[in-house]
Amino acid sequence: MKNNKIYIFDTTLRDGEQTPRVSLNMNDKLNIARQLEKLNVDVIEAGFPAASNGDFEAVEAVVREIRSPYIVALARALKGDIESAWNAIKDAEKPRIHVFIATSDLHMKYKLKMKPEEVLKRTVDMVKYAKSLCPSVEFSPEDATRTRPEFLYQVLEAAIDAGADIVNIPDTVGYSMPQQFGTFIGKIKDNVSNIDRAVISVHCHDDLGMAVANSLAAVENGARQVECAMNGLGERAGNAALEEVVMAIKTRSDIFSCSTEIVTEELTRTSKLVSHITGMQVQNNKAVVGANAFAHESGIHQHGVLNCRETYEIMTPESVGLKKSFIVLGKHSGRHAFVKRLEELGYKNLNQDKINQIFEEFKDLADKKKTVSDEDIESLAKNEIFKVPEVFKLKYYQVSTGNTTVSTSTVRLEREGKSVSEASCGDGPVDATFKAIEKASGIEVKLNDYFIKSVGYGKDALGEATVKVERDNKIFSAKGLSTDIVEASARAFVNAMNKMYHEISLKKAVSY
């Protein structure tokens, strides 16, 4: 490995999927993996194959299509897990098995119920077994930052002797402070005798908001791989945000004598794609990829930026993939200008059917608002690209609501040419509409989450609704778009029902 290169290990598909209320199917993982390959990440942790048949199959699907990065499968220090991981990634161009076991006294006593010597032996045996199957093995001592240092050094040394090429140091519960964590990494370099035979990696959680700072402190002290996730997704408060780690190293090259090979111009697009698929909104004031990251409202700031962008911008919008719009698109715009804008926004390989459908939706939207923004076009494109086949089609809805009346909604759904109309009351027009759609579909679901945001600005902004429904302990997320927020919500709910219908056998449950 290059000494001055920082390897970016993306765990959006594995730890990112463990974000509460996020569930990714095989197509979701493939779409994200394709974009991660365009982003040029070095490593994709594709999943935990032993966790379920679905996860195993999703990892296999990523292996079949993605060739450039290492494809990693996670495994507990158990023979069955390691075999499952290897079977899922064995055909990868660059396979890697990631073996982990907890090493802190707390975890060993209460979770593993194992003694330190047993953990040490298990580490050696399972790393050796993984190495007998796979040419590249990564080892993680879970809860490393709360592990007794002497025992941690012993375990790391044994893992490297057993064949681990990468030793990953997780701050599993986000407990460390940056200076402390940097020193911690430095002491590992000083006290693990064979550390020069392995790459030091770090995996930091954000429970105290320190994941990115801790990761960068580790880089300053010799770590050469950073494990992170797009938009900081992950367990609890999440992981180190990939986009923040990468742009900090790039922007502060005066401090970091190293670099990544990430195509930073793909960061914004990757962030939006992950947000769209997971249904997890990116906060407006999020560093690097948030809607306000390059927005200036203060008059003093605006004046400074207009005279010299460097006065208030330490990186350019273009460096993270934001484009400046020069052609205004509206209802009189032609297909050629629209297709050109789609290509400028990164949608270059769409087939004609998709382009025609997006253009038709663009013209419908342009009839409702004066100017269609880039954000509108991207939302229309993503909505069409990730649309599942429509078993149920929303043909009609009508709501009656007011502050002194009970909200009611009437909807008409179509399935295979047959229509069903239903009406329902609810706590507001959206709730009433959801209940009416549920009755018309004949499928009972639990509404797990719902939120709506504007795409762009102004009173005619496009509304983007996100709905998450649950059935059989599975969560299905979908979005809907409209200048009318009730319609956007209804379309999101119907899209979620369609997604659920295709992933769970519901044909017997629905009869028109």
CATH of 393-509, one of 3.40.50.1100, 3.30.160.270, 3.40.630.30, 3.40.390.10: 3.30.160.270
Is residue 372 within 8 Å of 329, Cβ to Cβ? yes
pLDDT digits (tens, 9 = 90+) for 290-308: 888 887 656 666 567 567 7
- Indicate the angle between helix axes 485-503 and 429-441, nearest 10 degrees: 30
Domain ranges (residues) in the chain: 7-278, 294-322, 325-369, 393-509
Task: Give the integer Cα–Cα distance in Å for 341 and 362.
Answer: 12
pLDDT reading at 356 higher than 80: yes
For 250, the token pair is: 């790039």
Q: If DSSP codes are grouped into helix, strand and coil, which group holds residue 476?
A: strand
Return phi, psi of residue 55, to 5°. Answer: -65, -40
Q: How far is CA 155 from the centre of its chain?
A: 32
- For 162, the enclosing helix (H) or strand (E) is helix 149-162
pLDDT reading at 511 higher than 90: no
The confidence band for 373, taking pLDDT boundaries of 50, 70 and 90, is confident
In single-letter form, the type of residue at position 137 comes to V
pLDDT reading at 512 higher than 80: no
- Mean pLDDT of the chain, nearest integer: 91
Residue-wise over 448-485: b if at least 16 C-beta within 10 A, else e? bebebeebbeeeebbbbbbbbbbbeeebbbbbbbbbeb
pLDDT reading at 64 higher than 90: yes
Task: Give the integer Cα–Cα distance in Å for 215 and 5.
Answer: 15
User: What's the pTM value of the predicted model, to 2 decimals?
Assistant: 0.80
The confidence band for 157, taking pLDDT boundaries of 50, 70 and 90, is very high
pLDDT reading at 380 higher than 90: no
pLDDT > 90 in the chain, percent: 71
- For 365, the enclosing helix (H) or strand (E) is helix 352-368
Task: Give the integer Cα–Cα distance in Å for 206 and 175.
Answer: 9
pLDDT reading at 61 higher than 90: yes
pLDDT reading at 454 higher than 90: no
pLDDT reading at 332 higher than 80: no
Is residue 123 within 8 Å of 115, Cβ to Cβ? no
- For 126, the enclosing helix (H) or strand (E) is helix 116-133
Is residue 155 within 8 Å of 119, Cβ to Cβ? yes
For 80, the token pair is: 């069955």
- Burial of 34 per CB tally in 10 Å (0-12, 13-18, 19+): middle
Mean per-residue pLDDT, 190-201: 98
Give residue for tokens 């119920």.
113
Q: 62 or 457, which is more confident?
A: 62
- Classified by CATH at the fold level, domain 7-278 comes out as TIM Barrel (3.20.20)
What pLDDT, on the 0 to 100 scale, is given for residue 326? 45
Mean per-residue pLDDT, 26-45: 97
Task: Give the integer Cα–Cα distance in Å for 99 and 195.
Answer: 18
- Burial of 355 per CB tally in 10 Å (0-12, 13-18, 19+): middle
- For 213, the enclosing helix (H) or strand (E) is helix 211-220
- CA atoms within a 13 Å half-sphere pointing along the CA-CB vector of 412: 6
